[in-house]
Amino acid sequence: MKRILIASPVRQKDSILREFLWSLEQLETDGLDIEYAFIDDCEVESTLLKEFASGGKRVQVIRGEVQGCYSRDETTHHWSEDLIWRVAGYKNRFLKMALDRGFDFLFLIDSDLVLHPKTLKHLVSLGRDIVSEVYFTKWTPAMIPLPQVWVAHDYRLYHKRRDEELTEEEIVRRTQEFLESLKRPGTYRVGGLGACTLISRRAISMGVSFGEIYNLDLKGEDRHFCIRAAALGLELYADTHYPPYHIYRESDLKGLEDYKQRTFRRDAAASSKQGRITLAMLVRNEAGRYLERVLDHASRYIDSAVILDDASSDDTVEVCKKTLRGIPLTLVSNREPMFHNEVVLRRQLWDLAASTGPEWILILDADEIFEDRAVEEIRSLAAGTGFDVLSFRLYDMWDENHYRDDDYWRAHRYYRPFMVRYLPGFRYEWRETPLHCGRFPKNITELRTATSKLRVKHLGWIKPSDRLAKYRRYKDADPLGRYGIKEQYLSILDPKPNLVAWSEEP
């Protein structure tokens, strides 16, 4: 069981602090061991913090230094240098507390946030050393809403190489691209973050700190923390699945009730479902082949989909969006293709799917389709509780009505995993090979497994042109048969394979 220290330095108005503490009480924490720590920096000791500490939870309230003035108004927050570094000292105190007392994670939160109930469990499930949940705020009333995470430097919101000279138009385009990406559910590497951050024990033990770096003139302790983390080799991530509500001004309280209603209504609807299935699929230049047929069939029994597009140059992305219209879809496109190193792609797809908080992850290739009766039966399988892996038989179809069955083509005689229940506390490991690495982490064999008589058709061998293309790919990628069977590669072009008629089973 993961031990989490939830901590916050507090100098807050009661009207806002009350909502912050309320949201902490709503957090889903089953399977987690939670303690709380607050530094009360309010001018008068906070009654609300005392009440929270008396509610039966393990809570430590530490009195702060209470020096200087912290000014907030309906325009913005006004931070003095002294106040910034005092807060940095408070946060470093939490880091030390988490390390000394053996916590697995420190969850640092600003006290003007109202958290989504699923935030903490989701962030823990990501397995990242440093990750923040993203929210958007108008830093001044005249500004557009902007995130509390950024790409680089002080608060740069666009990607840029050191040797690039960008026009104003290109800066605007790239900024918009970054902001739009943060509005899609996903987990993204960033250069800076803060305010709602989960920090692992590993990162803390490596020496992350909010202390001032004396030769940097960046303002704000979070910026110095992020620079230190990157210098230590730690990557920073921003997650966008469960955005909190930011009460930056007292006037923002007016919109809080709407956030609560939307959040808890959606959460209740999701929890009422049993055996939720998330389809995860890797695609590259699949338009005009089997993709639309496969997705249309899957859309009848899945609850959501995660698609990783490996830099397609055709209409693959449009096919996915069109066919899965009406189904929650997370779709990410790589800028450069990585198909030459399959394990990188498979791990990336798995991490994307895991970041959506799934119950079951079903991984199909773009040319794999269940037999028709699966539409009626697969949901009842997913509702089962006595197993964590579901295995099926895969039939290599050599035309629409026949599958291949000979010495090198007998996949249909064995069961292989296609659907895995996602377990946040399980440490998934991969077979580190560039080809034939497996669609799932290699150690799912340690989990409880069940088999099903439902069958999967592999359509990718049906056309002679498909077979020739795969033969050439395997020949180029694995000429010595290091990752597969060389004789099987050669048998792909057998002019007279043994074929068996496919028949629908009742």
Residue 69's pLDDT is: 66
Calpha distance 467→488 (Å, rounded): 12
Q: Which residues pair with 434 in a beta bridge?
A: none
Q: Which of the four pLDDT bands, split at 50, 70 and 90, describes residue 470?
A: confident
Residue 271's pLDDT is: 46
Q: Token pair for residue 435?
A: 């080809």
Calpha distance 71→265 (Å, rounded): 36
Hey, how many other C-beta atoms are within 10 angstroms of the C-beta on 314? 13
- Structure-derived torsion over alpha carbons of residues 137, 143, 148, 152, reported in degrees to the nearest 10: 170
For the residues 239-264, what does the mean pLDDT come to?
A: 87
- 3-state SS, residue 219: coil
Q: Which of the four pLDDT bands, split at 50, 70 and 90, describes residue 55?
A: confident
Calpha distance 465→470 (Å, rounded): 9
Q: Which of the four pLDDT bands, split at 50, 70 and 90, describes residue 496?
A: confident
CB of 493 closer than 8 Å to CB of 468: yes
Domains of the chain with bracketed CATH: 2-266 (3.90.550.10), 274-393+411-454 (3.90.550.10)
Nearest to 148 by CA among 120, 114, 110, 184: 110
pTM given for the model: 0.57
Q: What angle do CA 411, 413, 414 make, to 5 degrees?
A: 75
Residues 6+ apart with CB under 8 A from 353: 278, 280, 306, 361, 363, 422
Cα dihedral sign, 423-429-433-438: negative
Phi and psi (nearest 5°) for 481? 65, 35
Calpha distance 200→402 (Å, rounded): 52
Q: What is the pLDDT of residues 205-227, one digit of tens each?
A: 999 999 999 998 888 899 999 99
- CA–chain centroid gap for 229, Å, is 20
CB of 374 closer than 8 Å to CB of 452: no
Calpha distance 208→226 (Å, rounded): 8
For the residues 311-334, what does the mean pLDDT come to?
A: 93
Comparison of pLDDT for 255 and 385, the residue scoring more: 255
Nearest to 490 by CA among 501, 499, 481: 481
- 3-state SS, residue 468: helix
59-63: strand order across its sheet: 59-63, 32-40, 2-10, 105-109, 196-200, 130-133, 236-239, 187-190
Cα dihedral sign, 21-91-236-349: negative
Q: What is the pLDDT of residues 132-168, one digit of tens each?
A: 999 999 888 888 999 999 999 999 999 999 999 999 9
CB of 431 closer than 8 Å to CB of 442: yes
Calpha distance 390→418 (Å, rounded): 6
Residues 6+ apart with CB under 8 A from 278: 302, 303, 304, 305, 306, 353, 356, 358, 359, 360, 361, 362
What percent of the chain has pLDDT above 90?
A: 58
Calpha distance 4→58 (Å, rounded): 11
Q: What is the pLDDT of residues 373-422, one digit of tens each?
A: 888 789 889 887 778 899 999 999 999 999 999 888 888 999 999 999 99
Mean pLDDT of the chain: 89
